Structure 1
Amino acid sequence: MATSLGVNPNTVAAAYRTLRERGVIETDGRRGSRVRAKPATTGRDFIRVEVPEGVRDASTGNPDTALLPPLAPAFAWAAAQGDREPVLYGHAPVEPGLAALAGADLGADGVPAAPMAVASGSLDAIERVLAAHLRPGDVVAVEDPGWGSLLDLVPALGLRTLPVGLDDEGPLPQDVRRALEAGARALIVTDRAQNPTGAAVSAPRARALRAVLGEHPHTLLVEDDHGHGIVDQPLHPLAGVTRHWAFVRSAAKAYGPDLRFAVLTGDDVTLDRVSGRQRLGPGWVSRITQRAVLRLWTDGAVDPRAVALAYGSRRDALIAALAARGVRAHGRSGMNVWVPVPDETGAVARLLQAGWAVAPGARFRIESPPGIRITVSTLAQDEIDALADAVADAVRVGGVRGCV
């Protein structure tokens, strides 16, 4: 290209580097580079369904607002503490009481005792951890299907994704081993309420994954526990099996996405790098917000069992109704149900015509087969059968319902 354009090869190399760092292209060593279907910074939000008036929206992935606690009392209390003891430059970035409570909860769930940081949500925390250890061109093993925002974040950082398959019990050990042997430097795992499939890492699966990771101790392991507070599945963490690791627990699903809050723990080197870089940017997450979250936690503003029961009953009812109609679906935990379909675009369109909006699986897939994601968080029991009928009709192909 340099010869064809009559420019210095370094200029071409710099152009490629800029395109890669901006997520416009993906490079794959000697196999060359390819242009992404969409720049990573554009995001997968363009793959969405416009919901016409009168159509029931089950596509958003949002929690049920009726299950979210009121925030005003907690913030009023936190602001009052700030009036009496303002947080100024040089103060500790993490509220001491919050660190103690979060550390105790994480320890009770089997996460090793380690330093603590606070980030503006789980995606912010994951980005900081990846940036602390990886460089453009490095490979990150990710769940497929997986969280669309994460699948966009990785290439936006100039990194390459390597898909790992999963079932209801989490990432498949053989796929993880294959990815690590192929050169993946990091692995990101969703412990519970995996988006979009609802997978939850079981105890046997955790043992198998720890064995694989034990063979690759230099892997950067990142765990996302955004389902904390809304699931009835126990946590089986992988943290500590590799030299560098991070465990992220956010408050979005249980307490409200607008909190933009997550606690982050990990090995000393990772947390030192993350905290040091944070000091050079936002500095810290508002201590008023931290105190408000602490108040919500200590006051028991959310009953995790009741929330998990509410989501679980809706999820299980839909899966059972679909099974009765010959349609297989997945949803072991959380607020989403994943339905494999033979024709994703057609299924989404037919459901829209039937009065239901669901999320296209393309928002969550790399190489995995087509599917649709249905958010059950606001479904009423008397809507389940109607939705199941619509889904069964939408996935029918040639008179046979599309079961995978």
Structure 2
Amino acid sequence: MSAQYAISGTTAKGITSSVEQAVTEGRLGPGDALPPVRRLADELGVGAGTVATAYKELRQRGIVVTRGRGGTVVAQTPAVGARRPPKVPRGVRDLAGGHPDPALLPVLLPPERLVPVSGSHRGSPRRAGLEDMSREWFARDGVPDSRVTFAHGALDCMARLLSAELKPGDAVAVEDPGFHHLLDLVPALGLRMVPVAVDDEGIRPQALRAALRAGVRAVVCSPRGQNPMGGCFSEERRDALLEALGDFPDVLVIEDDHNAEVAGAPSYSLAAGGLERWAQVRTVSKHLGIDLRWAALACDAATLARHEGRMLLTSGWVSHLLQETVERTMADATARALVGRAERTYTERREALVGELARRGIAAHGASGLNVCVPVRDESAVVNGLRSRGWWVAAGSRFRIAAPTAVRITTATLEVAEAARFAQDFAAVLGESEATYGG
């Protein structure tokens, strides 16, 4: 616990407010430990049950997490305050962000005239043309397209699905390593994460079976372009996962196919496998632009009803100005051609780096998507070593729960001609770190 802050309060609500205020103001930071329940109870002169109730509330609100014998600590991204990722240092090449190459994003085509809306769009929340395009988008890859709706991006959609389907304390199976924003979101919703190991073909069947037997009520996974490993389902892996899920028909399976257009891999979707409870989310941020906060959702009837009900009570609909921009851009022949070139280019750049690393005896993961993941012994040593050589990569700690240490390299802007130089620098840094920290 931070030496500069003492928790106060004589009720569960007071203790909760004290901790939340400290986290909001930065006096308690990510990873800082809270006192054991009995010790804090003695210090405050209250019952242990009062402190336990406060800690439970803090956990359910995503402010703290409990790590078994490691005690209760502030979450890495607590669901209070306005924290942002660290800025990229000056003078280095950013290969950490996970973003697409701006040069491979089309010019957006917003509405030519902004006509004022009379009344509300709640009665017709989706533009018919974009809904038809979305159905075709899913159907192209065998995903059932009879029930389609929209959301404000993938995370917004998954948050609504999970909060409508589950109650605080329920367990969700998540990829480990996995998308760091999702790993922050799940505990912020008051849900428990059950890590599921992944490899180059996505989540592992045995790990999924263990999570299902442990009682998870939802599974969130990526069929391709998995972040950060780059895994993609093969047909065999898809079938093995469907077999594991067959004994648990009430579990909601959410697929995040966030870079469907530029993953560089075919679709072997669980959503196409006849599941009773399923949803697939697709976005356009990776191939049309990161500022288009729009997602298409295909799902079963019950999931659609719950999502639509929550949407109706909150934002009501996705902006029709945004929808028209997405629709016009998706329909544009020039934009479609550029998206096709982007997928080929991203594949070439990713494969170039994996190949150059392999030539230097360095194993890397990157079967699809915009990233390459490299196992390392000491993340900080590698990140800082590459920084000294002008490269900025992401430490794997952001993406993992119990998975081994690694770093993630975004290859979207790394030209093929640059791959050898980066790999050479990586090999040099790896050698230095192993000499220092033990190889």
- Same fold, TM-score > 0.5, yes or no: yes
Q: Equivalent of 1:204, from 232, 236, 255? A: 236
Q: Residue 139 of structure 2 aligns with which residue?
A: 107
Q: How does 1:380-395 map to 2 (within 5 A)?
A: 380-395=415-430
Distance 1:364 1:139 in 2: 19
In the TM superposition, residue 43 of structure 1 has moved relative to its aligned partner by 9.7
Residue correspondence of structure 1 range 155-194 to structure 2 within 5 A: 155-194=187-226
What is residue 327 of structure 1 aligned with on the other side? 362
Give the distance between the partners of 1:246 and 1:86, measured in 2 at CA.
33
Separation of aligned partners in 2, 1:391 and 1:44: 34
Q: CA deviation at 1:184?
A: 1.3
Correspondence list, 1:96-245, <5 A: 96-239=128-271, 241-245=274-278
Say how many residue pairs are matched: 396
- Using the size of structure 2 for normalisation, the TM-score is 0.83
Q: Residues 13 and 344 (structure 1 numbering): CA distance in 2 closer, same or farther, change over 3 Å?
A: closer
Q: Deviation of residue 76 (structure 1)?
A: 2.7
Letter in 2 for 1:60: G
TM-score (norm 1): 0.90
Correspondent of 2:105 among 33, 50, 68: 68
**8 Å Cα contact 1:326-1:401 kept in structure 2:** no
What SS does the aligned partner of 1:331 have?
A: coil
Runs ≥4 residues deviating over 4 A: 1-14, 30-33, 42-48, 397-403
The 5-angstrom pairing of residues 255-404 of structure 1 reads 255-300=288-333, 301-303=335-337, 304-396=339-431, 397-398=433-434
Contact 2:63 2:80 in 1 (8 A): no
For residue 376 of structure 1, report the CA deviation from its aligned partner: 1.0
Structure 2 counterpart of 1:41: 79
Contact 2:164-2:306 within 8 A present in 1 as well: yes
- Distance in 1, matches of 2:438 and 2:354, equals 15
Query: Contact (CA 8 Å) 2:279, 2:297: kept in 1 or not?
Result: yes
Distance across 2 between alignment mates of 1:177 and 1:12: 35
- Deviating more after overlay: 168-177 vs 105-114: 105-114
Alignment counterpart, residue 279 of structure 2, candidates 221, 241, 246: 246
Mean Cα displacement is larger for which, 55-64 or 379-388?
379-388
Whether the 8 Å CA contact 1:25–1:33 is kept in 2: the answer is no
Task: Give a deviation string over 1:287-308, Cα, whole Å, max 9, x none.
Answer: 1111211111122313343111
Distance in 2 (alpha carbons) for counterparts of 1:179 and 1:131:
20
Give 1:44 shift: 12
Change (3 A) 1:99 1:375: same
Query: CA deviation digits over 1:187-210, x for unaligned, max 9?
Result: 111111111111111111101111
Structure 1 residue 87, shift from structure 2 partner: 6.9
Q: Which residue of 2 aligns with 1:22?
A: 61
> Does the 8 Å CA contact 1:47/1:362 hold for their aligned counterparts?
no
The correspondence for 2:124, drawn from 77, 87, 92, is 92
SS at match of 2:296: strand
Asked which structure has the greater RCO (Cα within 8 Å, sep 6+), the reply is 1
Report the CA distance shift for 1:325/1:103 in structure 2 as closer, same or farther (over 3 A): same
1:230 counterpart letter in structure 2? V
